[in-house]
C-alpha cells in the first residue's frame, strides 16, 4: 500500500485523487447501470415483469468487484463474461478467492504471534489456504498487467484509460510489474468487502422495517423522481440514504477488529498506557455498539444520524464508530468507497420494491461471529418500480440532466462527422 497509495503527505501524488475519481465516473456509472439491468432481467419472465427472488449477497459482491475491475482494467470481465450482465465463471472464482483472502487476513493465526512456528509447520493451515487463494486471484489479474505493459512498450496502447495505465505510467516512484501486481491485489481487497457487507446488512434491516424503506423511497422520489435513475450528482441531497448506509456501518462492521497496528511510541489513550511496540486492535462493534455513546445501540435506526442540518457523511473521525477509521493510516479510498456504497443502496431502493420471500416472516439477523457478516445470505423478492426503458442501457429519460450532456456531445460528434464526410467528398 505504501508505494502505490502515494498520498500528498507521503510521496506527493495521489492515485485516488478527486480528479482521478471524476475521470473514472463513467466506468462507475456503467456498473451501477449494469446492476439494475441485471436484476431487472432476472425479474423479466416471458412477456412481463414480476417479483423474483434475488440473492442479494451475490449481487452486491459482484457490483463491488465489477467496479474495481472496471476502473482497474477497463472491463468487468476477465473472460467472455455473461450476456445478462451477471458474472462469468472467472469472476465467480475471482470473487471467491478475494473472500477467502479477506477471511484469513482478519483471522487469528498462531504464527502471527510465534513466527518461528512457521519453520516447523503451517501450524493452523492458514498459510496454504492464503497462498492458494492469492494464486487464484492473481491468475486472472497478473496476466492483464503483463499484457498491458507489453502493449505500452510496443506502442499498441498509448492512451490512459484506467488505473492500470496510470500505474504503468507513474514516474515518481516508477513501479515494477511485481509492485503493480501486488498493489492491484491490495486495492481489489480494499474495495470489495465494506460496500457489499454494509449494503447486504442495510437491505436486511430495512426489509425488516418497511417504514425505513418507505422513507428512503420518499427521499429518492423527491430528489430524483421516477423518470430517471439516481446519479452520483444526487448524492449530496440523499441524506437519508446516506444515514441508512452509515447506520449499517455502525451496527454491522465488516470484521470484529480493525487491521492490526503497532504503536511506534509509548502513549496513553483514555487513561490506558500503551507501550511502544504493542499490537493495537480496535474493536469495531465495541465502538459502534457502545451504549455509552449510542442510545439503543442494537437497533438499526438511520434517524439517529439525521439530527443536525449538516450533510450526512460516512466517515467518523471521532471514532464513535469505525467506518473508514482516521489519521495517517485511515482509509485511502474514502471518496470511492462512499460513492460506490451510497450508489449501490440508492439504485437498489430506487429501482425495485423489496419484500421477503413468502415463506419468511422476517429476515433472520443472526451474524457470523467470526467475521460479523450476515450468517445466512440475504434472499429477497425484487419487483421493478420504474418505467421499463430506464433499465435498458443507452436509453435515458428526457428530463435527465445527464441526457442533455450526451445529446450535446452527440451533436458535436455529428457536426465533426458531417464536416469530415464533406472533406472526404471534396477530396474524391
Ligand atoms: C465503504 C468502503 C470502505 C470502507 C468502509 C473502508 C474502510 C477502511 C478501514 C477501516 C481501513 C483501515 C484503517 C486503519 O487501519 O486505521 C481502511 C484502509 C484502507 N483502505 Fe479502505 N475502506 C473502504 C473502501 C476503500 C476503497 C474503495 C479503497 C481504494 C480503492 C480503499 C483503500 C484502502 C487502503 C489503501 C487502506 C490502507 C491505508 C493504509 O494503511 O495506509 N478502501 N479502509
pLDDT digits (tens, 9 = 90+) for 184-226: 999 999 998 999 999 999 999 999 999 999 999 999 999 999 9
The CB of 74 under 6 Å from ligand 1? The reply is no
Average the pLDDT over 106-134 and give the result: 84
| Ligand 1 near 10 CB (within 6 A) | no
Q: Give residue 116's pLDDT band: very low, low, confident or very high (50, 70, 90).
A: confident
Nearest residue (by CA) to ligand 1, atom 14, is: 330
Ligand 1 pocket, 259 CB below 6 A?
yes
The whole-number pLDDT of residue 47 equals 66
pLDDT at 290: 97
Give domain limits for the chain.
18-397
pLDDT for 414 beyond 90: no
Residue 195 in contact with ligand 1 by CB distance below 6 A: yes
Which atom, in ligand 1's list, is nearest to the CA of 341? Answer: 1
Mean pLDDT over each residue of the chain, to the nearest integer:
87
DSSP states of 192-207: HHHHHHHHHHHHHHHH
Give the pLDDT of residue 411: 44
Ligand 1, atom 7: closest residue by C-alpha: 324
Residue 28 has pLDDT above 80, yes or no: yes
Report whether residue 197 contacts ligand 1, using a CB cutoff of 6 Å. Answer: no
Assess whether pLDDT exceeds 50 at residue 275: yes
Query: Are residues 276 and 266 in contact, defined by beta-carbon separation less than 8 angstroms?
Result: yes
pLDDT(403) > 80: no
Read off the pLDDT of each residue in 127-143 and give the average, rounded to a whole number: 95
Query: 332 C-alpha vs ligand 1 centroid, how far in Å?
Result: 5
More confident of the two residues 118 and 43? 43
DSSP-assigned states of every residue in 346-374: HHHHHHEEEE--TT-SS----B-TTT-SB
pLDDT at 299: 98
How are strands ordered across the β-sheet holding 352-355?
Answer: 52-55, 379-384, 352-355
Q: If pLDDT is split at 50, 70 and 90, which confidence band does 14 have? A: low
Instruction: Please give the pLDDT value at position 376.
Output: 96
Query: How confident is the model over 74-89, as pLDDT tens digits?
Result: 999 999 888 888 899 9
Q: Which residue has the higher pLDDT, 212 or 280?
A: 212
Q: Is the model more confident about 384 or about 10?
A: 384
pLDDT of residue 419: 53
Contacts 24+ apart (CB under 8 A), 339-342: 339/21, 339/28, 339/232, 339/235, 340/28, 340/63, 340/64, 340/67, 340/191, 340/195, 341/194, 341/195, 341/198, 341/199, 341/245, 341/314, 342/235, 342/238, 342/241, 342/242, 342/245, 342/314
Residue 305 confidence (pLDDT) above 50? yes
d(CA 126, CA 195) in angstroms, rounded, equals: 25
Pocket flag, ligand 1, residue 258 (CB < 6 Å) = yes
Between 166 and 46, residue with greater pLDDT: 166
CATH architecture of 18-397: Orthogonal Bundle (1.10)
Percentage, residues of the chain above pLDDT 90:
68
List the beta strands (DSSP E) in 68-195. none
- Structure-model confidence comparison of residues 419 and 90, the more confident one: 90
- Give the mean model confidence (pLDDT) for residues 317-340: 93
State the average pLDDT over residues 345-364: 94
pLDDT confidence of residue 420? 47
Task: Judge contact between 35 and 84, C-beta under 8 A.
Answer: no
Most confident of 21-25, 104-108, 400-404: 21-25
Average pLDDT over residues 351-380: 94
**Residue scoring higher pLDDT (337 or 112):** 337
* 137 pLDDT higher than 70: yes
Q: CB of 341 closer than 6 A to ligand 1?
A: yes
- Average pLDDT (137-155) is 96
Q: What is the pLDDT of residue 418?
A: 52
Percent over 70 (pLDDT), the chain: 88
130-143: average pLDDT: 96
More confident residue, 16 or 250: 250
187 pocket-lining for ligand 1 (C-beta < 6 Å): yes
Alpha carbon distance 4, 287 (integer Å): 30
Distance 110 CA to ligand 1 centre (A): 25
Amino acid at each position: 500500500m505504501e508505494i502505490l497509495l502515494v498520498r500528498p503527505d507521503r510521496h506527493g501524488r495521489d492515485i485516488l485523487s478527486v480528479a482521478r475519481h471524476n475521470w473514472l465516473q463513467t466506468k462507475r456509472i456503467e456498473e451501477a447501470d449494469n446492476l439494475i439491468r441485471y436484476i431487472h432481467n432476472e425479474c423479466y419472465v416471458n412477456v412481463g415483469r414480476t417479483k423474483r427472488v434475488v440473492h442479494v449477497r451475490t449481487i452486491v459482491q459482484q457490483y463491488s468487484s465489477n467496479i474495481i475491475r472496471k476502473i482497474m482494467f477497463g472491463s468487468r470481465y476477465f473472460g467472455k463474461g455473461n450476456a445478462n450482465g451477471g458474472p462469468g465463471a472467472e469472476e465467480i472464482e475471482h470473487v471467491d478467492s478475494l473472500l477467502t483472502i479477506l477471511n484469513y487476513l482478519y483471522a487469528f493465526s498462531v504464527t502471527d504471534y510465534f513466527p518461528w512456528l512457521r519453520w516447523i509447520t503451517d501450524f493452523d493451515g492458514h498459510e496454504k489456504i492464503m497462498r492458494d487463494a492469492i494464486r487464484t486471484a492473481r491468475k486472472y489479474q497478473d496476466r492483464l498487467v503483463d499484457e498491458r505493459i507489453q502493449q505500452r512498450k510496443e506502442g499498441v496502447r498509448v492512451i490512459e484509460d484506467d488505473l492500470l495505465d496510470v500505474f504503468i505510467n507513474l514516474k515518481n516512484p516508477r513501479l515494477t510489474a511485481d509492485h503493480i501486481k501486488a498493489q492491484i491485489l491490495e486495492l481489489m481487497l480494499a474495495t470489495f468487502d465494506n460496500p457489499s457487507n454494509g449494503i447486504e446488512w442495510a437491505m436486511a434491516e430495512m426489509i425488516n422495517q418497511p417504514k425505513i424503506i418507505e422513507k428512503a423511497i420518499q427521499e429518492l422520489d423527491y430528489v430524483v423522481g421516477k423518470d430517471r435513475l439516481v446519479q452520483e450528482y444526487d448524492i449530496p441531497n440523499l441524506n437519508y440514504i446516506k444515514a441508512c448506509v452509515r447506520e449499517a456501518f455502525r451496527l454491522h462492521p465488516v470484521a470484529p477488529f480493525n487491521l492490526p497496528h503497532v504503536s511506534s511510541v509509548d502513549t496513553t489513550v483514555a487513561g490506558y498506557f500503551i507501550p511502544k511496540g504493542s499490537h493495537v486492535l480496535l474493536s469495531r462493534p465495541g465502538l459502534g455498539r457502545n451504549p455509552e455513546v449510542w442510545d439503543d445501540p442494537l437497533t438499526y435506526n438511520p434517524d439517529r444520524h439525521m439530527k443536525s442540518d449538516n450533510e450526512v457523511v460516512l466517515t467518523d473521525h471521532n471514532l464513535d464508530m469505525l467506518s473508514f477509521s482516521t489519521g495517517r493510516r485511515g482509509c485511502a479510498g474514502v471518496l470511492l468507497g462512499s460513492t460506490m456504497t451510497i450508489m449501490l443502496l440508492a439504485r437498489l431502493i430506487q429501482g425495485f420494491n423489496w419484500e421477503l420471500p413468502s415463506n419468511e416472516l422476517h429476515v433472520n439477523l443472526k451474524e457470523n461471529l467470526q467475521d460479523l457478516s450476515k450468517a445466512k445470505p440475504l434472499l429477497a423478492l425484487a419487483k421493478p418500480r420504474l418505467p421499463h426503458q430506464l433499465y435498458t442501457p443507452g436509453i435515458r429519460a428526457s428530463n435527465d440532466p445527464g441526457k442533455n450532456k450526451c445529446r450535446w456531445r452527440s451533436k458535436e460528434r455529428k457536426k465533426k462527422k458531417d464536416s469530415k464526410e464533406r472533406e472526404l467528398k471534396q477530396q474524391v
